[in-house]
Amino acid sequence: MSGTADRLWCPLCLLPNGWAERVLLHLDDAGTIRRIETGVPAGGHARLPGVVIPGMPNLHSHAFQRAMAGLAERGGGSVKADFWSWRQTMYSFVSRLTPEQVEAISAHLYVEMVKAGYTGVAEFHYLHNPPGGGRYGDVAELARRVAAGAAAAGIRLTLLPVLYREGGFGGAPLGNAQQRFKLETVEWAGTIAALAGASPTQTTGAAIHSLRAVSPADMTDALAAYDTICPEGPVHIHIAEQEREVAECLAWSSRRPVEWLLDGAPIDRRWTLVHATHMTAEESKRAAATGAIAGLCPTTEANLGDGVFALPDWLAEGGCFGIGSDSNVSLDPREELRWLEYAQRLVLRRRLVANGAAPASSGDASSSPPSLGAVLWLGAAAGGSRAMGQPCGALAEGRAADFLVLDPEHPTLAAHRPDTLLDAWVFTNAGSALREVWIAGQRVVADGHHPGEDAIRARFRTVMSQLMQSL
């Protein structure tokens, strides 16, 4: 990567307390912001060519699924096309992936993410074993391949090895297609420990796949083991994504998934509840009160027909949220935010949902509500940072220098004032005004180009040719 400097000047920058002009960022050797000055002349400092905003953490990704995009859009016959039929396609696809292919797919995906404005990713990694089951010589082989792909792309990574032990609620055995996902708890914890703190921009966290894939006893043991490794690290879980999942959980436990989790696990600010689509108002209230993050993946949730998360209920309770690309059918954080807001509008048949209940910025009843684009972008960046367990998501002292540089002369942003600039950035799709992407104080994208993208793309094309021929 390239483009390092210990002082960076920009004409306009979005800080936690709002927009500031003529900003000088002082960085240390690790790419952390140590000091911020405002109202500073450009002088001889290295100048960032545009408007600077925080980069977006992606809190939920399954890297290998990037390569199966477009393979599950056919239907017909007597089979109902839904999440569960999609899952069968995924099982078939994943059965053939090699370590080399996983690394090539991951590297390409992460370059695409960075070029779209994601500066970090929490990778929900449940592909552990060789085809047919068994173990690699190094149980962490495929996790290391994902990490290598992230390093090649230069993206910040929180790798979340996933515990996946059962094939359904109540201890159903794993199917043949699920054998690639199974680890013993000690193996799972060892993978987390082996890859923790691999580099300044790579660390690990914990993931429980779901209540249907991990028994209460295994969850308790896993969380105890994880707490000895990283007592303050992030914990992620798929929860209440599908109505069938809710019905099966009720049949198993007489409680809904989120209700069970709140009663049966130590949910707090460390946790990310991925999807949480089907919650009652009471569950939403209780979950928000824990400080847990709602991990929302609107494009995947739409693609799979999951349903619509009740965002107004969550925000009304002070709930935190972040966004993820999940199955990676879309890799644009702006599209995730648009879908998040637009789905609410379609359900409620009104506009300006995410900021509709927000107080006026000045306390004056005549003042306009805060910028919707800012509410969405900054809210998702803050939640994504916590979900990753890394100091990113805001341009502030002590935080990582992960940011985007937007071209104010691009037609998307031309003539916009600061109070409408993020609205224009999020709610238009006429080309990208993104000029540069910086991660840990290093420029990894300049003028839309990543220095490693040509070689990485060529490897991905080779892998796709191999995979498509084997279908």
Q: Catalogue the active-site residues.
A: 275, 326
DSSP assignments along 249-301, one per residue: HHHHHSS-HHHHHHHHS--STTEEEEE--S--HHHHHHHHHTTPEEEE-HHHH
Of 200, 187, 154, 183, nearest in space to 27 by CA:
200
* Measured CA distances, 154 to 56, 100, 429 (Å): 14, 19, 25
Of 212, 304, 221, nearest in space to 260 by CA:
212
Interatomic CA distance for residues 306 and 82, integer angstroms: 8
**Are 240 and 277 in contact, with CB atoms under 8 Å apart?**
yes
Provide the β-strand partners of residue 443.
Answer: 2, 438
Helix (H) or strand (E) holding 380: helix 372-388
Of 341, 315, 328, 308, nearest in space to 121 by CA:
328
Contacts of 449 (CB under 8 A, 6+ apart): none
Interatomic CA distance for residues 19 and 363, integer angstroms: 18
* Measured CA distances, 60 to 159, 385, 401 (Å): 10, 12, 21
Tokens representing residue 304 in the block: 């799979």
Give residue for tokens 């509709």: 356
**Are 378 and 54 in contact, with CB atoms under 8 Å apart?**
yes
Half-sphere exposure (CA, 13 Å, Cβ side) for 191? 34
**Are 56 and 381 in contact, with CB atoms under 8 Å apart?**
yes
Angle in degrees, 0-180, between the axes of helices 243-253 and 257-264, rounded to the nearest 10: 50
Provide the β-strand partners of residue 321.
Answer: 294
Identity of the amino acid at 217: A
**Are 36 and 52 in contact, with CB atoms under 8 Å apart?**
no
Provide the β-strand partners of residue 406.
Answer: 51, 434
